[in-house]
A and B are shown apart, each in its own frame.
Chain A
Amino acid sequence: DADVTQTPRNRITKTGKRIMLECSQTKGHDRMYWYRQDPGLGLRLIYYSFDVKDINKGEISDGYSVSRQAQAKFSLSLESAIPNQTALYFCATSELLAGDMADTQYFGPGTRLTVL
């Protein structure tokens, strides 16, 4: 979905390096999420943010940090990358609508990260 973009799309890095993955959205949504996908495990939530001042840990936040620079931008950082952080990373956005019992999330195209 072009409304949610991620950069870079592919990245190869070495153990111990700091790396940042960026996500931008033009949907005007307040909520943003970072997930990682591993084969056979589905997607797991790393961090989520409901607005610029609200950041929350997901189920697998260890080794990661995030920054919500603006409503439209949400970055994920690996301070010191390790090989088991090799995965496909997705950013998503959502907007909780009045009367909607479940806010639909819209996903970016993903960033494939390889840590050697």
Chain B
Amino acid sequence: AQSVTQLDSHVSVSEGTPVLLRCNYSSSYSPSLFWYVQHPNKGLQLLLKYTSAATLVKGINGFEAEFKKSETSFHLTKPSAHMSDAAEYFCVVSDRKSNTGKLIFGQGTTLQVKP
């Protein structure tokens, strides 16, 4: 079965410092992985996705993630946090085995950005 574990439920950084949100996955198939962001009282927005092309994936708003098969990880990073980055972030794996397009969500990481 496929699963996703977000290693931190809450991360706090200062504005201008790097962001690291950690995600490990479990999959018996070559996974498709996503990061979504949810701002307060908003829907989910796609930040980036990995589909077995380049292992370093660049997304919107300066975020990127690196797929590391040996570590079964897909951590999200940003060099310099901005106040507007404060939100909840979800690491997601697609259920490619069943070809249903079903998404399996991690528990979420709340990012706090301090001035």
Residues of A within 8 A of B (CB): 1, 4, 31, 33, 40-45, 48, 50, 56, 58, 90, 92, 94, 96, 100-110
Contacts and interface: CB of A to CB of B under 8 A. Distances in A.
A104 B43 CA distance: 14
Interface stretch (B13-21, B65-73, B77-85, B97-105): B97-105
A108 B43 contact: yes
Interface in B46-79: 46, 49, 51-52
B102 A45 contact: yes
A94 B101 contact: yes
Nearest to B91: A42
A7 to B, nearest CB: 14
A44 B106 CA distance: 10
Given A102-B32, A102-B34, A102-B96, A109 B43 contact: yes
B34 A48 contact: no
Nearest to B44: A107
B90 A1 contact: no
A110 B94 CA distance: 21
Contact of B34 (A31, A40, A58, A104): A104
Contacts, number: 63
A109 B105 contact: no
B110 to A, nearest CB: 10
A105 B103 contact: yes
A96 B9 CA distance: 31
A4 B108 CA distance: 22
A77 B111 CA distance: 33
Contacts of A101: 32, 51-52, 96
B45 A48 contact: no
B45 A1 contact: yes
Contact of A42 (B32, B43, B46, B106): B106
A48 B100 CA distance: 9
